[in-house]
Amino acid sequence: MRILLWHVHGGWTDAFVRGDHDYLLPTTPERDGWGLGRGGRPWPRAVEIPPAEVADAEVDVVLLQRPDELAEAERLLRRRLGRDVPAVYLEHNTPKGAVPNERHPLADRSDIPLVHVTHVNALLWDSGDAPTTVIEHGIVDPGHRYTGQLERLGAVVNEPVRRWRVAGTDLLPRFADAAPVDVFGMRTDLLAGAWGPIRPDVHGAGDVPTGPMHTALAERRAYLHPMRWTSLGLSLLEAMHLGMPVVVLGMTDAFRAVPAEAGAVSADVDALVRAAKRLIDRPDEARAAGRIAREAALARYGLQRFLADWDTVLADAVGRT
């Protein structure tokens, strides 16, 4: 198939474009949210295409990921989605409004299937008349890299200051009582003054490219996932693939993703801090928990299962239009 999609979520797209299709990514000179293209990523089957050429590109199906993409795709294609061109809408996010009564933007569209990335998303969104399914994440396996040689916690949080309570940024000083916390991701430099006096035990490590970041994370004794309200962070699943033991705030789909033996999952922050301290103090236990984390992640979030699930949904969408 020839699939039109925008590069919205780099980690998720990195898995999606590993399938057996041609992936058309609108690309503009500005390289902004409406034209990022590959974003410098080595995706051999992803083709950058100027928006003006989309109408003649023989698109088989459109993958939508933001509400505004519906109108933009129809403008570029000069055809109606769901009637003239098949489309699927992927919902990455938990609802942000009147949970659990928030109605999804595609809820009134019975002609465009709606795919949620977690069962919690599907449960909490009012998906209305949209045909709905769940395709859980798939991860490009970075390999077992864990060394745990540094008695520090690693976390990945993009824009931790802006996203504050949603991302659990306010909890980081509590975990720093167990061990210093190194936070990777976009705008982590702003953490330096987030609590007034500079806290050297909560360190913004910067927006490091994926490969080097994985290597650096795997040097930390354990991975910390403090997210209060996200679907299910890909960074958590990547850390598990790396063989890291994980300390995870028990929200959204965390209990489904993480076995208790892989570290700790709880809504009790004090219990998580104690678990983090135990992993710091007991490297052999941390290493064993990391092996369990990797086994669990490979079993549930493998790339081939993910791509097969998407092949089924895309084929069904094409067949119904």
Do 59 and 4 contact (CB within 8 A), yes or no? yes
CATH annotation of 150-300: 3.40.50.2000
Q: How confident is the model at residue 320 (pLDDT cuts 50, 70, 90)?
A: confident
Q: Is 173 exposed, middle or buried (0-12, 13-18, 19+ CB in 10 A)?
A: middle
62 to each of 65, 84, 112, 157, 186, how far by Cα in Å?
A: 10, 11, 10, 30, 29
**pLDDT score, position 173:** 95
- Range scoring the smallest mean pLDDT among 90-104, 139-153, 209-223: 90-104
Rg (CA), the chain: 20
Beta bridge partners of 4: 24, 62
- Does the pLDDT at position 105 exceed 80? yes
Average pLDDT over every residue of 2-29: 96
- pLDDT > 70 fraction of the chain, expressed in percent and rounded: 100
**pLDDT score, position 196:** 76
- Same topology, domains 2-138+303-320 and 150-300? Answer is yes
Task: From 82, 136, 80, 135, select the one nearest 108 (Cα to Cα).
Answer: 82
Q: List the chain domain ranges.
A: 2-138+303-320, 150-300
**pLDDT score, position 56:** 96
Domain 2-138+303-320 homologous superfamily, CATH: Glycogen Phosphorylase B; (3.40.50.2000)
What order do you get walking across the sheet with 220-225 strand by strand?
202-206, 181-184, 150-156, 220-225, 246-249, 263-266
For β-strands 46-49 and 22-26, DSSP reports them as: parallel
Q: How confident is the model at residue 194 (pLDDT cuts 50, 70, 90)?
A: confident
- Does the pLDDT at position 300 exceed 90? yes
pLDDT digits (tens, 9 = 90+) for 143-189: 999 999 999 999 999 999 999 999 999 999 999 999 999 999 999 99
Average pLDDT over every residue of 102-124: 96
**pLDDT score, position 272:** 98
Q: How confident is the model at residue 195 (pLDDT cuts 50, 70, 90)?
A: confident
What order do you get walking across the sheet with 2-5 strand by strand?
46-49, 22-26, 2-5, 61-64, 87-91, 114-116, 132-134
Average pLDDT over every residue of 64-90: 97
C-alpha to C-alpha distance for 273 and 165, rounded to whole angstroms: 18
**pLDDT score, position 78:** 96
